[in-house]
A and B are shown apart, each in its own frame.
Chain A
Amino acid sequence: MLELKDITWSAPSGEQILKGVSFKVPDNRLVAVTGPNGGGKTTIAKLIAGIEKPLSGKIYLDGEDITELNVTERARKGISYAFQQPVRFKGLTVSDLIRLSSGEERSDESLCEVLRKVGLCAREYIDREVSSSLSGGEIKRIEIATVLERPSKLAVFDEPEAGIDLWSFTSLISVFDELRRKKDKTLVIISHQERILSVADEIVVISGGEVKHSGDKEEILPLLLNDGVRSKVCPKM
């Protein structure tokens, strides 16, 4: 189980972004974190991955305090993270990244299989550099593939829908739904998309740096759809 307890965080400018955020993510559940832009959702994702450190508060993974662990240490504890804006590398290929992520040699066929899951016509991509030779949508899907292939217990996706086309998004929803049904990985997905919220087990709504609502999807989603914030939180795709 992942637990965030009384987390505060301020931007370098001094603006307080998170004001005492607490919530729990039970094992093998899909928890969607949603809310208006600027509310602190991406900061929460980075705090879980260790890219940012809280000003105060604690983060626990399976009861262990991981607040002071760095990114590598958290990755080795089983936390993986998909960047909202993926990183480009001159020289590293798609297969390099997926092999690094999975921690093992992979056959071309198995690389193709994971790329197909994220909607890429696979074989032609294997030896491509993860650089400007790929479009924003392609590189986003490769970023998601690196996290899907990582043997982690907790995977954090920061706005996986951003920058990908409708067909790939539909395919991605199926992948998340399948992972949720398998119940062998805990998923935290930062998203504005109603379709992602619909496949979640639980929803946490962050607004103004605080948890506004949290609970089972059946309880939270109707609140979102009826309280007038739908246009901010759940644009149709």
Chain B
Amino acid sequence: MELITEKLLNVVSDWTGTFAGAYNIRENGQCAGRAVTENIDIITKTDKPGIDIKVKPGTKKETVSIPACVTKGDIDDLVYNDFYVGENSDIVIVAGCGVHTDSHETARHNGVHRFFLSKNARVVYKEKHIGTGTGDGTRSIDPVTEAFLEEGAVLEIESVQIKGVDSTRRKTKATVGKDAKLIIRESLMTDGEQAADTEFEVELNGENSGADIVSRSVAKGNSKQNYRSRIIGNAACTGHSECDAIIADKATVNAAPELTAANPDAQLIHEAAIGKIAGEQILKLMTLGLTEEEAENKIIEGFLR
């Protein structure tokens, strides 16, 4: 494994030389390490690049890590990963991604992840993205996520884009069954000429299903962000979408939450707020002894936490 990969793994998936539990490390489109457990199997796909992760019913307190790294330009990595999570399981999936280039050429990772959560399965899915390297080649990450939640299943997605990713297009689609819940927390930072598009589409199909989507972002420099969310209530359900953005310099943020209710008992809410850091927030922290720059950084750090 390359040194750059190890550094990226440390940032995006808390790698310390090993992972606890099952794992599959992807480096420049190849497998750089794998382990399975009695309850979690990882199988290489034969029809396209990627893996199937199969979690036995009743698996509890296990973590499976599937980070992917691109360490140089002129690599366009596309991978299909499918997660089959058995009934009554309760697991954590860590799927960070780092892209690095020291050249003029593009380094890109595109992960297509599908989640099939069986009845009463619970999954916390953690995803951190970072771009690094001295080259002026584009660092690009374009994740596509599809989730299918059966009765009583719960999927929590924690998505963090730390820094350095020039271009990202995130698409997330989910269908949520009876008593099932989808929770998404997205934190995103863009600067310079970076661009980030986020698109969520959730169909609440089961009675008492729910979705809670919260996106917090900071846009600086000349960066551009687009946020789209669509929650469709086809049953007696609850849906909430919130997009909060701090904007600075000459950045642009576009937020377009959309709700569609196809059932009179669907309760859907959306919120969107875009604005600069309030001057009084900075002043308050300055009265505590922080400089203006330290105050801004502290406010952003808290906002994206």
Contacts of A83 in B (CB 8 A): 280, 284
Report if B3 contacts A (CB, 8 A): no
Contacts of B283 in A (CB 8 A): 51, 71, 87
Q: Are B302 and A96 in contact (CB under 8 A)?
A: yes
Chain B nearest CB: distance from A99 CB in Å?
10
Closest to A151 in B: B289
Closest to A75 in B: B289
Report if A186 contacts B (CB, 8 A): no
Q: Are A100 and B290 in contact (CB under 8 A)?
A: yes
Report if A89 contacts B (CB, 8 A): yes
Q: Are B280 and A87 in contact (CB under 8 A)?
A: yes
Q: Are B292 and A72 in contact (CB under 8 A)?
A: yes
Q: Are B288 and A92 in contact (CB under 8 A)?
A: no
Q: Are B287 and A92 in contact (CB under 8 A)?
A: no
The number of residue pairs between A and B whose CB atoms lie closer than 8 Å in the complex comes to 56
Report if A42 contacts B (CB, 8 A): no
Chain B nearest CB: distance from A94 CB in Å?
12
Beyond A87-B278, A87-B284, A89-B281, whether A76 also contacts B289 by CB under 8 A is yes
Q: How far is the CA of A223 from the CA of B173 in the complex (A)?
A: 72
Contact of A91 among B216, B280, B284 (CB under 8 A): B216
Report if B276 contacts A (CB, 8 A): no
Interface SS of A by simple majority: mixed
Chain A nearest CB: distance from B49 CB in Å?
38
From 270 to 305 in chain B, residues with beta carbon under 8 angstroms from any chain A beta carbon are 278, 280-281, 283-292, 298-299, 301-305
From 60 to 76 in chain B, residues with beta carbon under 8 angstroms from any chain A beta carbon are none
Chain A nearest CB: distance from B73 CB in Å?
35
Contacts of B291 in A (CB 8 A): 72
Beyond A87-B280, A90-B303, whether A100 also contacts B287 by CB under 8 A is no
Report if A49 contacts B (CB, 8 A): yes
Closest to B291 in A: A72
From 36 to 78 in chain A, residues with beta carbon under 8 angstroms from any chain B beta carbon are 49, 51, 70-72, 75-76
Most buried by A among B287, B290, B303: B287
Q: How far is the CA of A131 from the CA of B303 in the complex (A)?
A: 11
Beyond A71-B287, A103-B289, whether A90 also contacts B244 by CB under 8 A is yes
Chain B nearest CB: distance from A71 CB in Å?
4
Closest to B244 in A: A90
Q: How far is the CA of A103 from the CA of B287 in the complex (A)?
A: 12
Closest to B295 in A: A72
Report if A80 contacts B (CB, 8 A): yes
Chain A nearest CB: distance from B301 CB in Å?
8
Can you list 5 contacts pairing A with B, beta carbon distance less than 8 Å? A86-B284, A87-B283, A97-B288, A100-B290, A101-B288
A-B interface, 8 closest residue pairs, ranked by CB to CB distance from nearest: A91-B302, A91-B303, A71-B286, A92-B302, A75-B289, A87-B284, A81-B287, A87-B280
Excluding A72-B289, A96-B302, A100-B285, 14 further A-B contacts by CB distance (< 8 Å) are A51-B283, A51-B287, A70-B286, A71-B283, A75-B286, A87-B281, A89-B281, A90-B216, A90-B303, A91-B299, A91-B303, A91-B305, A100-B290, A150-B288
**What is B's interface to A at a CB cutoff of 8 Å?**
216, 244, 278, 280-281, 283-292, 298-299, 301-305
